[in-house]
Chain A
Amino acid sequence: MHTEFHKGGVRRNSIRFLQSLISRPEFGPFVLLVLEIVVFTARSPAFISPGNISNLLAFTPELGMISLGMTLLMVSGEFDLSVGSVFGFAPIVMWTFYNTHTTSLEIGFLVAMLISAVIGFVNGWFVTKLKIPSFLVTLGMLLVVRGTALYITDGFPQRTWTSDSLLMRVIVGEFRLADLRIYTSLLWFIFFAIILGYVLAGSKAGNWILASGGNPEAARARGVRVTRTKMTLFILTALISAYAGITSSIRVSAANPNSGTGYELEVIAMVVIGGTALSGGRGTIVGTVLGVLILRMMRNGIVLIGVPGLAYNIFIGGIILGMMALHSWLERRHRTGT
């Protein structure tokens, strides 16, 4: 499209291109991310050192994966507070099965994923069939799942360093890329982001997810299976949280029954910073990936430039409030039809 236009046409086209870029909901988060990188790098060159980038990329995929699932769920109009406890619980199940010689590691993995799918199903069933708000249902589930993890382990971490299997290397194997230390979990995160991004924006299922969150009654009246859509997304979110938790347990060589505490709120923050509406109907995977990077880099960069780590939450809260104000302003401008 950019060839064979005379000069004015090119300029008009590029202006229009720029306008459409700015009006995209991901534009705000994108600017914030660039700003963050620039400021942190200027204040502390160590921010872009291979060592720091490697550190950043080690943990980011784990929270990032949960955010991807949460994005789809939130676009459909629901959310899940039990993701953090599933993140802690699934590896406990897998490693307990393995360490007690009940099953092989692979079977333990499948059992953990299966139980997590059941957790997601129960969440979805309470929300869609009993019509209880997802806030209450998943808050209850958070306590049940966390409590179960603590009960079966007596509060002690499970050993995970005693084995080395192909499965572990596939999930979170380590390799070097130039000066960077990369885990395969990063590749899985990118893979999941592409798949789920496609599902949300380009597939029929994505249209159903958007419609279920936007106007469930209208969607149902057109034959969209709203209940089934939400149910599937609750299961997907639980599965991806379990997978992220297992990834984490292998990487840090410990399955701690307390790990993942508080992740649900950080994940929801990442998703809303990326432009997804808490009430549903609107959101993109690209926005969420930006939101994930914004919050993770903030946590990392703040320490590097010498702000006390305890002040971290002040910045996170500020970012959330600022981005919400920006999104609502853009939304209002959008609605008035400019």
Chain B
Amino acid sequence: MSDELVRMERINKFFGRVQALSDVTLAVRRKEIVGLLGDNGAGKSTLIKILSGALRADTGDIYLRGNRVDIRNTTDAMAYGIETIYQDSALVTELSIARNVFLGREPVKNPRWLNRLDQRLMSEVARESLRKAGITKEIPPTTPISALSGGERQAVAIARAMHFESDLIILDEPTNNLGVEETKGVLRFVRSARDSGHSCIFIAHNIYHVFQVVDRIIILRRGKKVADDIDPKRTTIEAVEELITGLEINKGV
């Protein structure tokens, strides 16, 4: 168990009287890409929001490298090296690329009490990390996000996650609303993340995308974990679909 990066143990979450998660346990090892699948309302997003600090669990513990941690908000999660990339990229469209990459963690020039943004550093880093994220087109870092395409926006979100050296990158439906080439770019990023030492949790509706990149699949259904160690190389998509919906598709055959 020494190569375990994150463990969420017996997580419970209620919204009013609805139990969104019941006793869910999830572990991600170092350099492992885990696919998290489930139908709408299965609890995927809730589980991920708890790990990224956007929600708090009612009961249950989170361990990071074997130590119990308390993730109270998104700032805590980022400080522990957990980055989340949401489907809508979670960017501020009015702000420039550089300002988005550093949002919430802006570098400040000396003297610190002036609180002055180091705009030159921000631009340089933004340009460099966009290139690493696979954007070959020359886009000035001062361009507002509103002028970018969906794929370029996702690349900015990915560049941000890569720059801040996060150990675990959570991708919540990153390929929604993307074109074919742009989707390929995101999948390429997920594969390369493992090589550069990151772990990933990959959530997608599109099972084919998940099958292409992950090492292991976890399935949630109605707030419970129904499968934990599905190997995409030795399972069929139909079998996974059955587990997600809980219906036997091939019944009677």
* Residues of chain A whose beta carbon lies under 8 Å from any beta carbon of chain B: 199, 202-208, 210-211, 213-215, 217-224, 281-282, 334-335, 337
Q: A207 and B117: CB pair below 8 A?
A: yes
The count of chain B contact residues (Cβ–Cβ below 8 Å) is 29
Asked if B40 is at the interface (CB within 8 A of a chain A CB), the reply is no
Chain B residues within an 8 Å CB radius of A224 = 103-104
Q: B95 and A334: CB pair below 8 A?
A: no
Q: A207 and B103: CB pair below 8 A?
A: yes
Distance between Cα atoms of A202 and B118 in the complex (Å):
9
CB < 8 Å: which of A208, A213, A221, A281 contacts B74? A221
Stretch at the interface among B22-30, B62-70, B83-91: B83-91
Distance between Cα atoms of A204 and B94 in the complex (Å):
16
Chain B residues within an 8 Å CB radius of A205 = 115
Q: A215 and B146: CB pair below 8 A?
A: no
**Also in contact, A220 and B147, with CB within 8 A (given A204-B106, A214-B95):** no
30 A-B pairs (CB sep. < 8 Å): A199-B115, A207-B95, A207-B99, A207-B106, A211-B95, A211-B99, A214-B92, A215-B92, A215-B93, A218-B92, A219-B92, A219-B104, A220-B74, A221-B52, A221-B54, A221-B74, A221-B84, A221-B86, A222-B78, A222-B103, A222-B104, A222-B105, A223-B73, A223-B78, A223-B104, A224-B103, A282-B94, A334-B146, A335-B146, A335-B147
Asked if B108 is at the interface (CB within 8 A of a chain A CB), the reply is yes
Q: Smallest distance from the beta carbon of A195 to chain B beta carbons, Å?
A: 11
Q: Smallest distance from the beta carbon of A153 to chain B beta carbons, Å?
A: 41
Nearest B residue to A199 by beta-carbon distance? B115
Chain B residues within an 8 Å CB radius of A206 = 117
Q: Smallest distance from the beta carbon of B1 to chain A beta carbons, Å?
A: 31
Distance between Cα atoms of A219 and B94 in the complex (Å):
12
* Highest count of chain A CB atoms <10 Å: which of B90, B103, B114: B103
Nearest B residue to A217 by beta-carbon distance? B90
Distance between Cα atoms of A199 and B117 in the complex (Å):
10
Chain A residues within an 8 Å CB radius of B144 = 334
Asked if B75 is at the interface (CB within 8 A of a chain A CB), the reply is yes
Asked if B116 is at the interface (CB within 8 A of a chain A CB), the reply is yes
Count of A-B contacts with CB under 8 A?
80
Q: Smallest distance from the beta carbon of A74 to chain B beta carbons, Å?
A: 13
Chain A residues within an 8 Å CB radius of B146 = 334-335
Q: B75 and A223: CB pair below 8 A?
A: yes
Q: Closest 5 interchain pairs by CB?
A: A222-B104, A223-B104, A223-B75, A214-B92, A281-B94
Chain A residues within an 8 Å CB radius of B147 = 334-335, 337
Chain B residues within an 8 Å CB radius of A204 = 106, 108, 115-117
Chain B residues within an 8 Å CB radius of A337 = 147
Chain B residues within an 8 Å CB radius of A222 = 74, 78, 90, 103-105
Q: B94 and A214: CB pair below 8 A?
A: yes
* Highest count of chain B CB atoms <10 Å: which of A213, A222, A337: A222
Q: A210 and B94: CB pair below 8 A?
A: yes
Q: B74 and A215: CB pair below 8 A?
A: no
Q: A203 and B117: CB pair below 8 A?
A: yes
Chain A residues within an 8 Å CB radius of B54 = 221
Distance between Cα atoms of A214 and B114 in the complex (Å):
24
Mask: chain B, 114-144; 1 = CB below 8 Å from A; 0 = not = 1111010000000000000000000000001
Distance between Cα atoms of A211 and B101 in the complex (Å):
12
Q: Smallest distance from the beta carbon of A68 to chain B beta carbons, Å?
A: 18
Distance between Cα atoms of A335 and B146 in the complex (Å):
6
Distance between Cα atoms of A217 and B146 in the complex (Å):
17
Q: B94 and A202: CB pair below 8 A?
A: no
Chain A residues within an 8 Å CB radius of B115 = 199, 203-205
Distance between Cα atoms of A37 and B105 in the complex (Å):
44
Q: Smallest distance from the beta carbon of B169 to chain A beta carbons, Å?
A: 14
Nearest A residue to B115 by beta-carbon distance? A203
Distance between Cα atoms of A207 and B114 in the complex (Å):
14
Chain A residues within an 8 Å CB radius of B73 = 223
Distance between Cα atoms of A213 and B103 in the complex (Å):
13
Chain B residues within an 8 Å CB radius of A215 = 90-94
Chain B residues within an 8 Å CB radius of A207 = 95, 99, 102-103, 106, 117
Distance between Cα atoms of A309 and B21 in the complex (Å):
67
Nearest B residue to A212 by beta-carbon distance? B92
Q: A211 and B116: CB pair below 8 A?
A: no
Q: Smallest distance from the beta carbon of A275 to chain B beta carbons, Å?
A: 12
Chain A residues within an 8 Å CB radius of B108 = 204
Q: Smallest distance from the beta carbon of B103 to chain A beta carbons, Å?
A: 4
Known: A211-B103, A222-B103; 13 extra A-B contacts, CB below 8 A, are: A203-B115, A207-B99, A211-B99, A218-B91, A219-B92, A219-B103, A219-B104, A223-B73, A223-B78, A224-B104, A334-B147, A335-B146, A335-B147
Chain B residues within an 8 Å CB radius of A214 = 92-95
* Contact residues, B32-54 vs A (CB, 8 A): 52, 54
Q: B74 and A210: CB pair below 8 A?
A: no
Nearest B residue to A280 by beta-carbon distance? B94
Distance between Cα atoms of A206 and B117 in the complex (Å):
9
Chain B residues within an 8 Å CB radius of A199 = 115
Q: Smallest distance from the beta carbon of A144 to chain B beta carbons, Å?
A: 34
Chain A residues within an 8 Å CB radius of B106 = 204, 207
